[in-house]
A = this chain, B = another copy of it.
Amino acid sequence: MLTIKKIATVALLSLSLLACSGGTSDEPNTSLQSTEKIKWKLVTSWPKNFPGLGRGPETFAKYVNEMSGGRLEITVYGAGELVPGFEVFNAVSSGSAQMGHAGAYYWKGKIPAAPIFSAIPFGMNALEMNAWLHHGGGIELWRELYAPFGVIPFTGGSSGVQMAGWFKKEINSVDDLQGLKMRIPGLGGEVLKEVGGLPITLTGGEIFTSLQSGAIDATEWVGPYNDLTFGLHKAANYYYHSGWHEPGTMLEFTVNKDAYEALPDDLQKIIEVATRAVNQDMLDEYTARNHNAMKQLIEEHGVQVKPLPQDVLIALKKATKTIIDREIADDPVFAKIYASYAAFYEDVKSYHALSEKAYYENR
């Protein structure tokens, strides 16, 4: 419900936005009517309109604009347009942007437990992450984690199971990982280090040239749909599956708490429901587009697609346990959130063995 207090706050916020942005309202007079048009900035960690990842926030902005009858207009900025891709969380926290779209694992340095809300090596896939977050208590823990920063997280889409990555040489055993310089961020990188590799963190834009020049021997990115766009097949020929390190990466919409609370109830709900719709739409886009991209990579570019050997997977799984145990010991917040994650995972995995997994095998 639109309370007088809220109307006043929205009016003030809208006026202050006008002041900041040099006048973006369509109607310049300051009557209550004119203040109904609110303009927000949404900063992202992706190149503008990048397939999947970048299209999600664009779709979101369109939904919100249309559902609000133009009362809430959101402008989407690509990485580097307003702030660098890794500064999205800080921008939303400080209020210099009202919203962000990124992946929670990018904030690991600031918030050690954040990666649980994007991807855990050998963890839950997209279907399971969504169930835990929306019906298993996950999103409540996520909101608690971001509350001290004045940031409210919403689910922001998923890539589905990613690919294990691009390698310049074949991986036949754990020996081939020794000293391997691979672009792989977050917990996945720490797992690689545990088995003898050298994880390196690079932004998306730096990957191709580093791989081509030989500065790195391997890289993970997303999956065929995005990797083809980046041209990674021109720099490495072996493409390994499946993405043990990111089995269902969840993206996030983040909203500045003060800006959100200043909105009337209907616009708050419009934001919530639009994030939810986009959350599924992105996964649908990846699911629909990955195959054709993979076909192009194989048939037109001669890429060799291979499964990681079982002994490599076993070593990575063992190392994952070591890394997770270390995170649990280091941070009681990580321990608390991971306990919820792990309990849900154990349950859903046991049911999916009879349903999703069994069906993939029987069909």
Residues of A within 8 A of B (CB): 1-2, 63, 66-69, 122, 125-128, 130-136, 160-161, 163, 223-224, 241-244, 247, 264-266, 269-270, 273-274, 276-277, 279-281, 283-285, 287-292, 294-295, 305, 307-308, 313, 344, 347-352, 354-363
Contacts and interface: CB of A to CB of B under 8 A. Distances in A.
Nearest to A126: B127
Contacts of A356: 125, 160-161, 356, 360
Nearest to A290: B351
A181 to B, nearest CB: 24
Contacts of A291: 347-348, 350-351
B277 A273 contact: yes
A130 B280 contact: yes
A361 B357 contact: yes
Give the interface centre of A1, A2, A128, A362 by most chain B CB atoms within 10 Å.
A362
B270 A67 contact: yes
Contacts of A355: 160-161, 163, 223, 241-243, 290
A227 to B, nearest CB: 13
Nearest to A241: B354
A307 B357 CA distance: 12
A362 B242 contact: yes
A164 B79 CA distance: 48
Contacts of A351: 224, 290-291, 294
Contact of A281 (B1, B276, B360): B276
Contacts of A294: 351, 354
Determine how many copies of this chain the complex contains. Answer: 2
A305 B350 CA distance: 13
Which 7 A-B pairs have CB atoms at the shortest separation, nearest pair first?
A131-B287, A135-B288, A276-B277, A291-B351, A69-B266, A357-B360, A280-B280
Give the interface centre of A126, A127, A284, A313 by most chain B CB atoms within 10 Å.
A284
Contacts of A224: 351
Nearest to A288: B135
A84 B131 CA distance: 32
21 contacts: A63-B273, A67-B266, A67-B273, A127-B160, A131-B285, A132-B288, A133-B284, A135-B288, A160-B355, A161-B355, A161-B356, A241-B354, A242-B354, A242-B358, A273-B273, A276-B280, A277-B277, A280-B280, A290-B351, A291-B351, A352-B360
A316 to B, nearest CB: 10
A269 B67 CA distance: 5
A284 B136 CA distance: 9
A133 B281 CA distance: 11
A348 B293 CA distance: 11
Contact of A284 (B66, B131, B269, B359): B131
A155 to B, nearest CB: 9
